[in-house]
Structure 1
């Protein structure tokens, strides 16, 4: 078939549309190189952080899809798909993928969360082209073979069983369900035995085609990298797979990236109690309430508050529950921020007979903070703890890749580490007191797993009265 050549004007117009947009972003981790971002034709974002003093690179692709994007019937599909993308493409078998990474001493993995999925490989800088080729191939060229779907179903069911056998982990899924109910955010990321058994190859394949469009993806690389080289190789890999418009692209090349999630969601579950009877040696409890979204400026003050309550060995809960009374081995507080809501929780694992005492201490400490806030010394110590852990947590290329990729996907921008430290340092005792009243000053809910007697179950309900 003879192809009619385009006019010079039309060709130049397409070329203008196909130009990638590159910018330098706010500084990365202290002492390392620059952060640069390019938006390719077709809406694919590529962001890198250069660390010229190391010999490794972590390369990842973030997808704007998580368990909250699933219908009830599709619960678990995002995680199922994460497994299947390792099982072969038109160019590579599952063994080819794993053997190629093993042959260069690299590491490869993925994880699924409620609002995103990430696939990544950590390799020597000289092996970055291999990592780019493999990960991009997986994301754009998965064949999702029916036989692999069936084989991996058993693996995922075993993973669900493994989680169910770890009540210290399972209680956090129960807490999400307690607080968020039968909603996409409240359902487990892994799905359930019933939903996983019901998923078919065709439904998973449709889910893949819908959510792995380049406009929903962010490519991130950190380490000894050259930004322009990463962009060139990523673009070539996606164009080879037909996932990005090539040199002959028409007007469809003007696609823009999908922006961060937004919206607001109210959590109305005050005083709710969910108990799961298990024959375990320990009882595992989470006492909590609605927190703040990841876009809420109060998150900095809530982070300082959480660190003071249960973020380390000097925290109030650790000192009162473990050090002074010996009631539990593990206890801590935490925050979870989503696009439109958040959670605040206090966890403890202890003997079932100790649960009433542990919960009373938790309630007393929460009430004390609501009424009096933190001392100046506690705020100073917590600010220092968060500042130090923020910087120390960026000591490897995997953490740097995680920071820039998640920031681009969830916020659409990069906050420099110095700006993050400034936000933390700016938190005052008055800020903590205000967020304590707003977040902790409500009736909590409770999730618990353990072998509770009727009397102990009654005590648990009384704990949130």
Structure 2
């Protein structure tokens, strides 16, 4: 049984409470539907900067918030914030007794932490720019670059840390304009997880969030780049990183579970995955081979990434394409499917025991206007058959869904010529 309570406040704020009996901890957070997806060329990076400014006690002029955070942290509560392509979130995890204080802190974040000291803003810009430098100088950017190749430099193709010049030159007026148009009750989701009393928790939420004014949220029309493309950044060094990307369905698609299975069998970061066997075990061409899936409200990205010597890039892409063509035609063995089911079931069960992950899962799905349970995800994995995997590959493993991202030193033209399902 998956017990949840879904309610609205009069100002439009959506609230989801999930009761997990017999645990002594809670986790709560608020999700604002504002991320790099909603930015343009001039504002790309500001959602992430705003996250820093709002959560940070040193940039906020709200003394009550500072006192509250001091009390919360002294009682062992962990708190953090995150910006993604579609949302900005703020969340707390700690002992259940601290839930009222954490809900109050979330209300300050959403409603009261919106005035900033200009000198402190300039200091925080430096912090955000250092984070961006770290991002752009590492291979970790390959996941975002894959989405950029598939969807263009707009919508979910926009980089979360954004343009450093935008951050450096950001004015308070621009920052306040984004907050005004996006930090609204109807554009937010509040989630609470733990052994909670629904009535008492709701009373606490109403006490602190009823004051949030019901203001109209900015409108957004989904932008879709017509065709996937190529992202390549030439850089010196011994290693390169390459990623073959495929456009996949949105978060709530019935095909999601099939894509998860395909990704796991082909590129799970273990020695048993097909691509690891072909690229690392049989040929010794690379050490790090992975797959990833990124789901969004209206679309998604599947990627197969390899860190390798640039001289091997063309051969590795050829191997990846050969395997994709093979599985599209023949599917997988029953042993591979059973293994993938066990891997995904194990990951899901471990996630259920991680309260912060559980909270973030519910926050993400609820922001997509759907409500999923981790328990139900396990049931879906168990019912997948080879025929369903082949059907999904027939639908999405197509040349007009195929893109490529690469960073390093290799002949990108040779690599691109290998990218097709023919």
Q: TM-score, normalised by structure 1?
A: 0.83
Which residue number in structure 1 is paired with residue 15 of structure 2? Answer: 46
| Paired residues for 1:427-446 under 5 Å | 427-442=384-399, 444-446=402-404
Structure 1 stretches lacking a partner, 5+ long: 1-26, 29-33, 245-251
Q: Does the CA-based 8 Å contact 1:87-1:148 persist in structure 2?
A: no
Distance 1:381 1:316 in 2: 12
| Paired residues for 1:150-299 under 5 Å | 150-166=122-138, 168-239=139-210, 242-243=211-212, 265=224, 267-269=226-228, 272-299=229-256
Question: 1:329/1:404 Cα in 2 relative to 1: closer, same or farther (>3 Å)?
Answer: same
Query: Offset of 1:369 from its aligned partner?
Result: 0.9
> Are 2:65 and 1:99 equivalent residues in the alignment?
no
Q: Does the CA-based 8 Å contact 2:125-2:168 persist in structure 1?
A: yes
Question: 1:84/1:404 Cα in 2 relative to 1: closer, same or farther (>3 Å)?
Answer: same
Q: Does the CA-based 8 Å contact 2:151-2:224 persist in structure 1?
A: no
Deviations 1:33-85 (A, max 9, x none): x2222211111122122223222111101112211111221111211110010
> Are 2:53 and 1:87 equivalent residues in the alignment?
no
Secondary structure (helix, strand or coil) at the match of 2:31 reads strand
Distance 1:438 1:188 in 2: 28
Distance 1:299 1:264 in 2: 22
Q: Does the CA-based 8 Å contact 1:35-1:49 persist in structure 2?
A: yes
Which residue number in structure 1 is paired with residue 415 of structure 2? Answer: 460
Q: Does the CA-based 8 Å contact 2:18-2:192 persist in structure 1?
A: yes
Distance 2:346 2:256 in 1: 17
Q: Does the CA-based 8 Å contact 2:38-2:155 persist in structure 1?
A: yes
Alignment RMSD: 2.4
Which residue number in structure 2 is paired with residue 416 of structure 1? Answer: 373
Distance 2:200 2:232 in 1: 54
Query: Offset of 1:169 from its aligned partner?
Result: 0.9
Deviations 1:256-315 (A, max 9, x none): x99xx996846512xx33321112331001111211111321111111111111124221
Query: Offset of 1:121 from its aligned partner?
Result: 1.0
Distance 1:200 1:262 in 2: 25
Report the count of equivalent residues.
414
Q: Does the CA-based 8 Å contact 1:177-1:187 persist in structure 2?
A: yes
Distance 1:281 1:462 in 2: 23
Query: Offset of 1:133 from its aligned partner?
Result: 1.4
Deviations 1:69-108 (A, max 9, x none): 1122111121111001023555427754553332111211
Which residue number in structure 2 is paired with residue 114 of structure 1? Answer: 85
Distance 1:191 1:97 in 2: 31
Deviations 1:372-399 (A, max 9, x none): 1112222222222222221221112112
Which residue number in structure 1 is paired with residue 267 of structure 2? Answer: 310
Question: 1:184/1:263 Cα in 2 relative to 1: closer, same or farther (>3 Å)?
Answer: closer
Question: 1:267/1:435 Cα in 2 relative to 1: closer, same or farther (>3 Å)?
Answer: farther
Q: Does the CA-based 8 Å contact 1:305-1:432 persist in structure 2?
A: yes
Distance 1:265 1:387 in 2: 33
Deviations 1:121-168 (A, max 9, x none): 1121111222111121121101233222211111111010011121x2
Secondary structure (helix, strand or coil) at the match of 2:18 reads strand
Secondary structure (helix, strand or coil) at the match of 1:120 reads strand
Q: Does the CA-based 8 Å contact 1:51-1:224 persist in structure 2?
A: yes
> Are 2:25 and 1:78 equivalent residues in the alignment?
no
Name whichever of 432-441 and 76-85 sits farther off.
432-441
Question: 1:356/1:403 Cα in 2 relative to 1: closer, same or farther (>3 Å)?
Answer: same
Which residue number in structure 2 is paired with residue 141 of structure 1? Answer: 112
Q: Does the CA-based 8 Å contact 1:72-1:184 persist in structure 2?
A: no
